[in-house]
Amino acid sequence: MKTNTAQTEHRVLVENIRTPVSASDEEVFAEARRRIRACRVLSAPSQVEMHRKSIDARRKELSFVCSVWASVSCGADATPERLQKSGIRFSDSEPLELPVGTESMSGRPVIVGFGPAGIFCGLLLAECGFRPLILERGGSVDERIRAVERFSVTGELDTSTNIQFGAGGAGTFSDGKLTTRIGDGRCRYVLERLHELGAPADILWKAKPHIGTDILRDVIRRADERIRSLGGEIRYHAKAEEITATDLVVGRERIPFGALILACGHSARDLYGELIAGGFAIEAKPFSVGVRVEHLQSDMDHAMYGDYAGKYGLIHADYAISYRSGDRGAYSFCMCPGGEVVAAASEEGGVVTNGMSNRNRDGRNANAAIAVSVHPSDFGGTPLGAIEYQRNLERAAFRAGGEDYSAPCQTIGDFLRGTSGTEASRIQPTYRGGQVRYTDFHNILPGYVCSMLEAGFRQFGKKIRGFDADDVPMTGVETRTSAPLRILRHEDSLTAPLYDRIYPCGEGAGYAGGIMSAAVDGIRVAQAILARYRRVSAEE
């Protein structure tokens, strides 16, 4: 290859490589190399690796759509415009920015919550020498496993350690899904760090990466160990209370802080109440409520893949669907192939559902929340009104389920006909091993939610064969799709108004919606702290 200037090393991305689903990864790489040769201004790649791989099931003939990283040399004649004609673009990754501040921190940074936001904020601060103290109201991973299993079997709820509270946050008992709609360069950093902590390598290139609940538990354990090894401290069963501008209370201990990161998670209702009473600027925001639907995974595989189902090593099918009417929408949320519906209550006298899948996604059923948008005007527009709205639905579900944490259940056929009592047979509900009570969700959910669910199911049945089949069971209620409020913060400093050293963070503060975006927000807050404060030496 001839160039006019000295060669320089670059990383390029070869995009939109379409192959049959029978093609191997090596065939994908061969096509990437062919395109690089064809553009005539790049050297033969010294290394290629998968960047993204997805299945396109929209056509009769299924195909993979891939993009590939390649390390190449090039000169000045390799312009972005010239590469674009071959479906190639420069994609040199930038290292994570680690600014250095000058202000002295009056005490150690304290993080409230050890979910994705708290974990990634804590990791970055610890690696930069700040030795954070992390306060988690729930228990360790192993304590959580025992508490969740006990609740599932006996109905004995531990209100401090459950699917919502404890090491790793609510995501620890989900699917470990890492999909996100945010276009932030920190996402790659999050994936790479999760892989370093034990997540499978394919999260680095799959279009819809997931870790799996069973593997994610070990990732959380390693994150705990990493932070501690760098001088950080993690206290479990440490519920934060009485937060002021300079300190907070845990048990009988008053703990001062140099900076406080509020990464409390979306279910910390008691803490929300204290913050509201303490004068923090908090506003209600839209959220969603609905039910969990379950289908046979084999039915979904055939509906999405047709004759390709079960062939060529295709992963189990998932889906993302939505329907809109006026100012409301109904949409799928947290779809779990080969998973189960889990009991996610964190308060006594309430029933909450969520979805979970292990790494292999080898369960008989697929499940997903079908959620309907709720506007602030639906609950009086206040943060406390939002919390009470969720709580009232959970209590109504508890009563309809027989007041023993069984979940209310109804088939889609009954729901659409306005009848009740038909029990599921072909598709067995998985909530607590089938502990459900058949009832009518029209008596639990508001009328506008039911109307949107009815319209949504009919539309979804037109898009995915069998989605609205008569015997599909739905359990509920799903109320914890996101935080119902936002703890306000300044756009530039990320600190709370009137609280110069307090940083609202993550999903619980209303700035994220899932593992990936919460982790990214935790990193953003850590970077804001690094930019403000000078780093602490080992002797200090």
CATH class for the region spanning 109-283+484-532: alpha beta
Look at residue 536 in the predicted model and tell me its pLDDT: 66
Backbone angles phi, psi at 409, to 5 degrees: -145, 150
Q: What is the percent of the chain with per-residue pLDDT over 90, rounded to a whole number?
A: 89
User: The domain at 8-90 falls in which architecture?
Assistant: 2-Layer Sandwich (3.30)
**Model pLDDT for residues 176-206, shown as the tens digit of each residue:** 899 888 888 899 999 999 999 999 999 999 9
Asked whether the predicted pLDDT for residue 6 surpasses 80, the reply is: no
CA-wise closest residue to 452 among 347, 378, 372, 389: 372
pLDDT, the chain, mean = 94
CA-wise closest residue to 536 among 97, 109, 95, 135: 109
Look at residue 92 in the predicted model and tell me its pLDDT: 66
Say which residues have a Cβ less than 8 Å from residue 289's Cβ, sequence separation at least 6.
371, 372, 374, 390, 393, 445, 449, 477, 478, 479, 481
Question: Quick check: 416 and 458 in contact, CB under 8 A?
Answer: yes
Question: Quick check: 203 and 51 in contact, CB under 8 A?
Answer: no
Least confident of 85-94, 121-130, 229-238, 503-512: 85-94
Domain assignments of the chain as residue spans, ordered by start: 8-90, 109-283+484-532, 286-478
Question: Quick check: 467 and 457 in contact, CB under 8 A?
Answer: yes
Q: What is the percent of the chain with per-residue pLDDT over 70, rounded to a whole number?
A: 98
Asked whether the predicted pLDDT for residue 538 surpasses 80, the reply is: no
**Model pLDDT for residues 212-222, shown as the tens digit of each residue:** 999 999 999 99
Q: State mean pLDDT over 452-470.
A: 97
Least confident of 46-60, 358-372, 414-428: 46-60
Which secondary-structure segment (H or E) carries 516?
Answer: helix 515-532
CA torsion angle for 394, 449, 180, 432 (degrees, to 10)? 40
Look at residue 57 in the predicted model and tell me its pLDDT: 86
**Model pLDDT for residues 273-291, shown as the tens digit of each residue:** 999 999 999 999 999 999 9
Detail the DSSP E strand segments found in 240-304. Answer: 240-241, 247-250, 253-256, 259-262, 282-284, 287-296
Q: How many CA atoms lie within 13 A of 4 on its CB side?
A: 4
> How many C-beta atoms surround the C-beta of residue 149 within 10 A?
10
Rg (alpha carbons) of the chain, rounded to whole number: 25
CA-wise closest residue to 115 among 264, 257, 218: 264
pTM of the full structure: 0.93
> How many C-beta atoms surround the C-beta of residue 241 within 10 A?
12
3-state secondary structure 476-515: EEECCCCCCEEECCCCCCCCECCECCEEECCHHHCCCCCH
- Between strands 328-343 and 365-374, the pairing is antiparallel
Asked whether the predicted pLDDT for residue 5 surpasses 80, the reply is: no
